Chain A
Amino acid sequence: MLPLIASLLLIYEDIGKDYKSLLYKFYRVGVMKPGTLLALPLGLGLALLIVGLTIWSTRLIAVGSGILVLGVVSYVAIRSELELKKVSSRFETNFYENVLRLMLEEFELYDENTIYFLPSSLGGESSILISHKNIDPPIDLKTVPKRLFFEHNGVFYIRFPSIISMLSAYTVSRTNNVSEVESQLDSFLKDLGLISSIKIVEKPDGTLIVDTVPSKDVVINDVPTNSFLNLTGSIISDSLNSILQFIKVERNGDIYRIYFRMI
């Protein structure tokens, strides 16, 4: 009964609002995590079942067993939805990485390059700009042509939609606060199963330092196709509405330190 009541309350609360998954919202806002969702009906259901068996009330047994089944089913449904979301996001990011890698190889931009992240306010959608050479600054980034491949002062550039445009289930919220960006990033990357923790520090000179402990098997490097780098840069750039230049990645044990510069 509890999942039903919680669901109805949230429906009532969110009538007219646009979001995709009520169950997902349970999980995201931490109102009801899958484990909690299982624990509540399990406790109630078991209590009713035991009382029903003790005093031999078939009605209590029926309700208790029903709540138990409902709790387990709700838990499994939430877990399955999260798993499905993770799998589909992984598929989308793999597809994106492969397309971008092919483009970089095709235009021979793979070896030496500088990576910039442009917010969606510049040209309609958040994008990644990769220059052919390490030139600083290569171009007036606020007037970058909205073209896939272009040349400016003898330097070739590729402008590609950022990885967040592939992940249809996620939207970035604008903010001026770095701690809010950190919370968004934490939520995004944890949902995708990429990290266990993340922290962003802003230096007075406009440098952003991202310290993160990635999940097992997640690789972070300075290649533009790296989904972690791409996702992190795009989200920070779009949420702060600022152009971001990727500087370097350092590794110290399990902790990766990524440097960006706000332009």
Chain B
Amino acid sequence: MGYTSYTKFILSYSIVFLATVIFGFLLNENRVDLYISLYILEYFVFSAIYGVRLSTTLNIILFIIFMIIVAYRIIEILFPGVLF
């Protein structure tokens, strides 16, 4: 079937989102930041795979959220107990 790149992107992203939630629950994973960072990572990976050009604003927002999560985890490792 001749789906466009955008259709393939959204279908793949929906499936991977579902898989992330299912595997996360099966592994008894309770860290919300891990789920969110995976959603963001999947978004960037699939938009790159299918070569779709989406909103620059959305890309920046998701990247900032991702960076905040990464920074939080790095600070937690380097300076344990500084953050809540």
Stretch at the interface among A64-72, A112-120, A199-207, A223-231: A64-72
Question: Does A21 lie within 8 Å of B13, measured CB to CB?
Answer: no
In the complex, the chain B residue whose C-beta lies closest to that of A52 is B32
Interface status of A174 (Cβ within 8 A of chain B): no
Q: Which residues of B contact A62 (CB under 8 A)?
A: 21, 24, 32, 35-36
Q: CB-CB contacts of A166-191 with B at 8 A, as 1s and 0s? A: 00000000000000000000000000
B4's partner among A11, A18, A20, A63 (CB-CB below 8 A) is A20
Residues of A within 8 A of B39 (CB): 65-66, 69-70
Q: Which of A192-236 contact B (CB under 8 A)?
A: none
CA distance A58 to B7 in the complex (A): 30
With CB as the reference atom, state the residue of chain A lying closest to B35.
A62
> B11 CB to closest chain A CB, in angstroms?
5
A76 at the binding interface (Cβ < 8 Å): yes
Which residues of chain B have C-beta atoms less than 8 A from A69's C-beta?
17, 36, 39-40, 43, 62
A138 contacts the other chain (CB 8 A)? no
B64: min CB distance to chain A, Å = 14
How many inter-chain residue pairs (CB < 8 Å) link A and B?
Answer: 98
Distance in angstroms from A169 CB to nearest chain B CB is 10
User: Residues of A contacting B21 with CB < 8 Å?
Assistant: 62-63, 66
Cα A23 to Cα B52 in complex, Å, equals 14
**A23, B10: Cα distance in complex, Å:** 9
Partner of A80, one of B13, B30, B55: B55
Once bound together, how far apart are the Cα atoms of A72 and B61, in whole Å? 12
In the bound complex, CA of A204 to CA of B81 (Å): 85
- Look across to chain B and name the residue whose beta carbon is closest to the beta carbon of A1: B18
Q: What 1/0 mask marks residues of chain B from 15 to 44 whose CB sits below 8 Å from any chain A CB?
A: 101101100110000111001100110010
Residues of chain B with a CB closer than 8 A to A58's CB: 30-32
Q: In angstroms, how far is the closest chain A Cβ from the Cβ of B43? A: 6
User: Are A21 and B6 within 8 A (Cβ)?
Assistant: yes
B interface residues with partner A (beta carbon < 8 Å): 1-4, 6-7, 9-11, 13-15, 17-18, 20-21, 24-25, 30-32, 35-36, 39-40, 43, 52-55, 58, 62
Interface pairs A-B: 8 shortest CB-CB: A4-B14, A62-B35, A81-B6, A58-B30, A22-B7, A21-B4, A76-B55, A69-B39
- For this complex, 8 residue pairs linking A to B, each with C-beta atoms less than 8 Å apart, are A4-B14, A20-B2, A21-B6, A73-B10, A73-B54, A76-B55, A81-B4, A81-B6
